[in-house]
Structure 1
């Protein structure tokens, strides 16, 4: 089964560094940044875990819960967190799933045979409060994720949901947004009181 945007994120119950969690119950009404890494005590993964911990306040401000995963055990995760905190100058508090039997990694298609038969690649799932998959990204094992982009797309998704708008290339919070072509000019008057710049009939930009 291939997971696609708009699908309900599959639920699972598994051990983690925060104890056993049921994913849907743990997520509650928050957004989730669910991401996998190949292995504990490896260099790129250590920087990514540290960066996630350093950005804890940024995720919290967006009501986003980070959740890590690798195919290591809880015991290995706990030992590794000490290294992450020490080397990355952080205080890692979010749970890391212990997927030693690959159950969740296979459920979320995180193991790619071209990279490894047993370790997860660097998958990203952004999941909304309705448990819908809203964005996916996949990075190879040798390349760390861009956390500026992860925060940017979360901002974009939340802005789009709240304002019934679309976002242009390289959009960042505070930039002009796009009025979708599906919204008529009459409807747009009520939805976007600041008016808009009509570059083309299908391309209308406005400030929120």
Structure 2
């Protein structure tokens, strides 16, 4: 099975969802998080969907949309969304892909035979506003994802794109970013006198 690859176009899809038919091309010009879950009406997935819903406006503020997926029918998705509203008081504002054929799940490598032949694992794909796959994160069936981490990662990716920098571990907006290391002896020699906060020639930070 071919796996999607970072910094290449994300696999195109067209699928029925709880918000009607959706295509990857519908999101052109926006960032998109496509995330799969093993099944509707399961407790870990329910906690994740509630967290995605609670952070939805923060994602939208970053020009980032959300779309879920599981290998369930649209009717199951609709019933589950209504159940979350009724039992937890949370409205799910983003679409969920019906993928009974597993077409989208296979295109994105969401089926991991070591975990299950019939369920998508907790896979998360961050796709940029040009349709390029920028990050992939896979979680096991048993453990829920941290939605604030995906929010942080979108912010970090957008900051890197805008400023040509990298971000250190756990970076949050407002913190110092990493200046790309020099690539020549001459540049390395000059680096320490360029006004950055340097530990050594290869490790320098700056404020944006």
Q: TM-score, normalization: structure 2?
A: 0.92
Residues 1-10 or 92-101, more deviating: 1-10
User: C-alpha distance in 2, partners of 1:129/1:39?
Assistant: 28
1:47 and 1:88 in contact (8 A); partners too: no
Please state if 1:181 is matched with 2:185: no
In the alignment, structure 2 segments of 5+ residues that lack a partner are: none
2:121 and 2:139 in contact (8 A); partners too: yes
Please state if 1:146 is matched with 2:146: yes
1:50 and 1:89 in contact (8 A); partners too: no
* SS of residue matched to 1:20: strand
Quote how far apart the aligned CAs of 1:7 are. Answer: 1.4
Cα deviation code 1:183-202 (max 9, x no counterpart): 758x99xxx9xx42121101
User: C-alpha distance in 2, partners of 1:98/1:45?
Assistant: 15
* Misfit runs of 4+, over 4 Å: 182-185
Cα deviation code 1:89-116 (max 9, x no counterpart): 3221101000011111011110111111
Residues 195-204 or 130-139, more deviating: 195-204
Please state if 1:79 is matched with 2:79: yes
Cα deviation code 1:129-157 (max 9, x no counterpart): 11111000000011010112111111110
> Would you say how many aligned residue pairs link Structure 1 and Structure 2?
202
* SS of residue matched to 2:175: coil
Counterparts of 1:165-204 in structure 2 under 5 Å?
165-182=165-182, 184=187, 195-204=195-204
Q: Which residue in 2 is equivalent to 1:14?
A: 15
Give me the CA root mean square deviation: 1.9
* SS of residue matched to 2:85: helix
2:182 and 2:202 in contact (8 A); partners too: no
Q: TM-score, normalization: structure 1?
A: 0.92
Quote how far apart the aligned CAs of 1:182 are. Answer: 4.2
